[in-house]
Structure 1
Amino acid sequence: MSDTPQPRPPAAFATRAIHAGEHPDPVTGASAPNLVMSTTFVTEAGASFSAEDFGENTPFIYTRWGNPTIAQLERKLANLEGAEACIAFASGMSAITSLLLQTLKPGDHFILSDVSYAGTAEFARDFLPAHGVEVSRVDLSDPALLEAALRPNTRLVYAETPANPILKLTDIAAVADMAHRVGAKLAVDSTFATPIATRPLDLGADLVVHSLTKYLGGHGDAVGGAVLGRTDDLAPLRKGTGIHLGGTISPFNAWLIMRGLATLTIRMRAHEEGALAVANALENHPKVKRVIYPGLASHPQMALARRQMSNFSGMLTFQIHGDGEEVARQLSDRLHTVHYAVSLGHHRSLIFYLSTSEMLRTSFLLTPEQEAVYRSFAGDGIFRLSVGLEDPGDLIADLSQALG
């Protein structure tokens, strides 16, 4: 029998979610990954302490540069997303701002989805123009609008699909093709979808962003973010803003998120099943005006959702008849199982009311045409519901009694 190690057969996603990036501890034999909390590491005399000398084979020196637990998380995420490399950050916003600051320079043109996470929208609106970057807000659900907005100096197109908070979709393959024609890169925030549903790199995107705080961590107890893509694209990001801005994820949070990833496959299956049951029940509730969920035939981009998503996730929104603010107060007082709280992707169900007038005033500042599209999804306001892992019947009963 040969002693040469035999290559492992390709593993399914569920298996990789558990094993990728991990290995038993060679000293103790521990099966679970170690948590390395040390901030500093013993190294050889003469080792450089400059980011300029940082490379792929640089040993662990200081946790802001790299850490064994964080590195394990990065390897696992890269494997699941089909990426060459990954950088983990202290939060989703740290990942987003580091990517934008490293990629965009004065004189560059940046195209952002007209509806995206509020932190992204506000950073692009308030910070980037003050530093010489021209920003265009484009409804990326219509590729023709992107084609009209692209310029020779467009450096980055940033999409979010499904978009937070209205679950509008972007055709990743079509948008990637258009961006590449002018030499721009496409980054996709795939937090709502997760790699269970959509792998943007397979569809032509150059970079993928995740808030690890949401579905990938899955338990609402650890904040983190990540950027994934080709090694050549991420090496300058790690050496530049990744190290110099100091947005390093805590090794403990990295360990918690890695633990959460082990159950991602079964969690996302349960999130989808629960969300579909709740969405169908809400569509038939007399006080509910409209439900938006990519898994429903009533979603305005249902054909794209079926083509681009293999799991419809646990996020849905709904409009109600009457005063949304009043019903929000009613729900916050009456709900028992569903928590009235921000954030999403946790094992607990969370709901929050988002007034359209408030969102347009504080975050999006859309043109009349863009506002019309936003209102076609959101009306005067929406309840954003993150369906957790509770029994769908209990969630439906709780929402029904709270709505009255």
Structure 2
Amino acid sequence: MFDRDQDRPHFETLCAHFAEDPSKFHGAVIPPIFQNSLFTFPTYEERATNYQLDPTEVEEAAGGISRFYDYTRVTNPTTDIVERKIAALEGAEMARCFASGMGAISAAIFSCVRAGAHVIAPQTVYGPTRQLLQDYLKRFQVSVTFVDGADSADYESALRPETTLLYLESPSTVVMRQQDLEAVAQIAKRQGAATICDNSWASPYFQNPIHFGVDLVVHSATKYLGGHSDIVAGVVVGSRERMQRLAMEECCLLGATLDPFAAWLLLRGIRTLPVRMERHQQNAKAIALWLREHPAIAEVYYPGLPDDPQASLTAKQLRGTSGLLSVRLKRPTREAAARFVNRLRYFQIGCSWGGFESLALPMALPAERLGGTPGETLWFVRLHIGQEHLEDLQKDLDQALRED
């Protein structure tokens, strides 16, 4: 479990107040939106020396990288507040926001690889991340090995001399497999490689990979950090040394900058993150336990259940569980999964998750990624349990699962 620094405010207080100073904005409780592209300078000399930071200025630097705000692709006061707050929530030194989760993931990965590098990642990693590693990076002679990852020895055995990155997604997509963050981080350090962990599922409220030695943490902030299904955003957090370099290179040069208005909406979402995560967890745990006993369900994938195959890791790494789970029907076919979600009333069909609403989506995985027969396809239904009343959601699931 996370040992909280006694001098550090609690998570809920950080969400409400950290990095904010109403006195700067005429006492406004909510900081204004700096919806502008450009910031001007009174003299040429101030502009010319803006990025020549003295070590004593780093803590107060605009966006962590300059004396003053300059251009929104580089820094922006609204985005700066959100970045400082998220860094504090993750227990990191610095954060950088992006225009999407994949913008953040891509920038983090690019910052850790070079031509000819090798990456290790979980078999059940998020689909677009897998596509980036497996297909897109081929053009730069970057190779990847996908491992089960439930045993840290999987990462150790896959190491090569050219391995520069061990990628983690804990829990992973659909089947919620965890990796031992601390053990994998230690393997990476012995190798001289970096580690990245996608922490979107748990959010910083329930898990802090930085605490276990992970170098960079990424989020699709579209999900729980935003929480209202009205923005697309991403974030990377890590040490100041890594993040300053990433901010000036992968962020500024590739240009996936978060818009100030989206940053302001993200700030609004973070204020209610603790209470939302508690409600997501409360509803999801109850539904996961209920679904385990349902005659139409073969298996439920959700950490923390009584038969959790990774109970020790759940206890070590997670302070709680979120609202995303998956099920496998006793009739595990595409047709059965489609019939199930089509009959739902409160659960909408959609590809994202993490907002206030409940969602359902049939998803297919090649069986070989789970140690099964090559060429076989396994069908699951991913459920995001939202903020609705638990009884209404259970009734909806039950009527959709019943045979006519």
Q: TM-score, normalised by structure 2?
A: 0.90
**One-letter amino acid matched to 2:371:** A
Aligned to 1:383: 381
Shift of 1:130: 1.4
Higher alpha-carbon deviation: 89-98 or 144-153: 144-153
1:204 to 206, 210, 213: 213
Shift of 1:356: 2.5
CA contact (8 A) 1:319 1:382 kept: yes
**One-letter amino acid matched to 1:329:** A
Aligned to 1:251: 260
Aligned to 1:87: 96
The SS at the match of 1:223 is coil
Q: Distance in 1 between matches of 2:222 and 2:76?
A: 19
Matches within 5 A, 1:5-404: 10-46=8-44, 47-48=47-48, 56-357=65-366, 368=368, 370-372=369-371, 380-404=378-402
Distance 1:225 1:51, change over 3 A: farther
Shift of 1:100: 1.7
What are the superposed Cα offsets for residues 268-309 of structure 1, whole Å, 9 maximum, x if unpaired?
111111001111111111111111110211222122112211
The SS at the match of 2:129 is helix
CA contact (8 A) 1:327 1:403 kept: no
The SS at the match of 1:103 is coil
CA contact (8 A) 1:107 1:134 kept: yes
Q: How high is the sequence identity, in percent, across the aligned residues?
A: 36
**One-letter amino acid matched to 2:303:** P
Shift of 1:258: 0.9
The SS at the match of 1:356 is strand
Q: How many residues end up aligned between the 2 structures?
A: 385
**One-letter amino acid matched to 2:140:** H
Unaligned runs of 5+ in 2: 1-5, 54-62
**One-letter amino acid matched to 1:256:** L
Shift of 1:149: 1.2
Shift of 1:48: 4.4
CA contact (8 A) 1:331 1:340 kept: no
**One-letter amino acid matched to 1:382:** F
Q: Distance in 1 between matches of 2:392 and 2:49?
A: 55
Q: TM-score, normalised by structure 1?
A: 0.90
Q: Distance in 2 between matches of 1:304 and 1:99?
A: 25
After the TM superposition, which segments of 4 or more aligned residues of structure 1 sit over 4 Å from their partners?
A: 48-55
What are the superposed Cα offsets for residues 235-269 of structure 1, whole Å, 9 maximum, x if unpaired?
11111110011100111111111111111111111
The SS at the match of 1:26 is helix
Shift of 1:62: 1.1
Shift of 1:57: 2.7
What are the superposed Cα offsets for residues 114-138 of structure 1, whole Å, 9 maximum, x if unpaired?
2211110001111112102122212
Q: Kindly report the root-mean-square deviation, in angstroms, between the aligned alpha carbons of the 2 structures.
A: 2.2
Unaligned runs of 5+ in 1: 1-7, 361-367
